Amino acid sequence: MAVKRKPMIPIRDAIRSKTFPLVNLLIIIANSLAFLWQLSLGPQLREALLLYGIVPVRYSDPSLSAQFTTFEQILPFFSSMFLHGGFMHILGNMWFLYIFGDNIEDRLGHLRYLIFYLLCGIAAGLIHLYTNWESNLPTIGASGAISGIMGAYLLLYPGSRILTLVPIFLFIQFFEIPAFVFLGYWFLIQLFSASLTPKNVGGIAFWAHIGGFVAGLVFIKIFDWVPRFRFAKEFRHYTERKRTPRLQTIAPFSLTEDLDLHGEIWITPREALHGVRKLISIPQGLKKRNLIVTIPAGVEEGTRLRLRGLGRVDREGNRGDLFLTVQILS
């Protein structure tokens, strides 16, 4: 009996990358161009998927393997990552890549991120090959590589907040969910689904998702030990963001039992030098209050901005202040 699961759709995460995600964007563009190429093939599409997708029987059947060169057998582990089975398939994959990929690229650097992405995709392909050894169905999609991105995100940013769309019966609700909850739930769904899915049948390659996710957990630790390439460091200078987001959500906290609240606001060195105005969103109960904050030119790291009357309120009606500490991105 099939189990219906209502999907949780990520809208955005709370971590802003310090550099422009150039490689992530190029991967999305490459997938989009490959999909347009698929649409142009018409009736020849099936033949292309059998050639460029991962078809396990091509490797398990010696008589069939002999018909392909070594290059033709290796190519699908790369080419399959850029092919998709339909609009919803590529849309879902590219959206998850857009949400989670930029932070991993920011952490690893552009070139190491590209290598990391490809290795996660290859690992996912190998796991699928092992778990579907005699299947004659082609497997395509970037899901395995993106699962590796999600595994790395879970390890690096478990406390990040993910704004998530959650369908509840006939209603749509938005919740901010910790990354470890969102990604942990996603991984358990893949594990549960894989255990119920017979081998060598079509559909979603759940074991490839699991393999990519675990590969991301492992590879991100290895890549963190590998030093950045010298020319990649120099190139990073050109992709550094010159501005922080105009809208920033502040999560105020109290250091003591008094009425004052404290938070942080992030700006770039350029914004610190010339000054900037930021729109901040402050949670107040079930609602949020939006305010414009002016940060003066020449502000230094650690400067505290005082917003009067935005602290807590006691029973007598006394209201504290909100102090924002300026943090300058390095």
Residue 201 has pLDDT above 70, yes or no: no
**What is the DSSP secondary-structure string of 261-306?**
EEEEEEE-HHHHHH-EEEEEEEEETTEEEEEEEEEPTT--TT-EEE
Question: Among residues of the chain, what percentage have pLDDT more than 90?
Answer: 51
| Number of domain units in the chain | 2
Pairing of strands 276-284, 247-249: parallel
Long-range CB pairs of 287-291, under 8 A, 24+ apart, other chains included: 288/249, 290/247
More confident residue, 269 or 217: 217
110-124, 251-265, 266-280, 298-312 — which one is most confidently predicted on average? 110-124
Q: What is the pTM of this model?
A: 0.75
301 or 250, greater pLDDT: 301
Query: In terms of domains, do 185 and 96 share one?
Result: yes
User: Both 221 and 258 in a single domain?
Assistant: no
Full residue range of the structural domain in which residue 165 is found: 9-238
- Tell whether 13 and 92 lie within a shared domain: yes
What percentage of the chain reaches a pLDDT higher than 70? 88
CATH code for position 103: 1.20.1540.10
Q: Are residues 19 and 149 in the same domain?
A: yes
Examine residue 184 and state whether it is found in any structural domain, yes or no.
Answer: yes
Does residue 155 carry a pLDDT above 70?
yes
Buried b (16+ CB within 10 A) or exposed e, 6-39: eebbbeebbbebbbbbbbbeebbeebeebbeebe
pLDDT higher than 70, residue 2 = no
pLDDT tens digits, residue range 12-45?
887 878 788 999 999 999 999 999 999 999 999 9
**4 belongs to a structural domain:** no
> Which one of 238, 265, 297 terminates a domain?
238
Quickly count: other Cβ atoms within 10 Å of residue 271's Cβ.
Answer: 21
Whether the predicted pLDDT of 4 surpasses 50: no
Judge whether 133 lies within some domain: yes
Q: What is the arrangement of strands in the sheet containing 304-307, beginning at the earlier edge strand?
A: 261-267, 322-328, 304-307
Confidence of residue 157 (pLDDT cuts 50, 70, 90): very high
Mean pLDDT, all residues of the chain: 86
Domain boundary among 213, 238, 263: 238
Structure tokens at 27: 């991967």
Domain CATH number, residue 301: 2.60.260.20
pLDDT attached to residue 199: 58
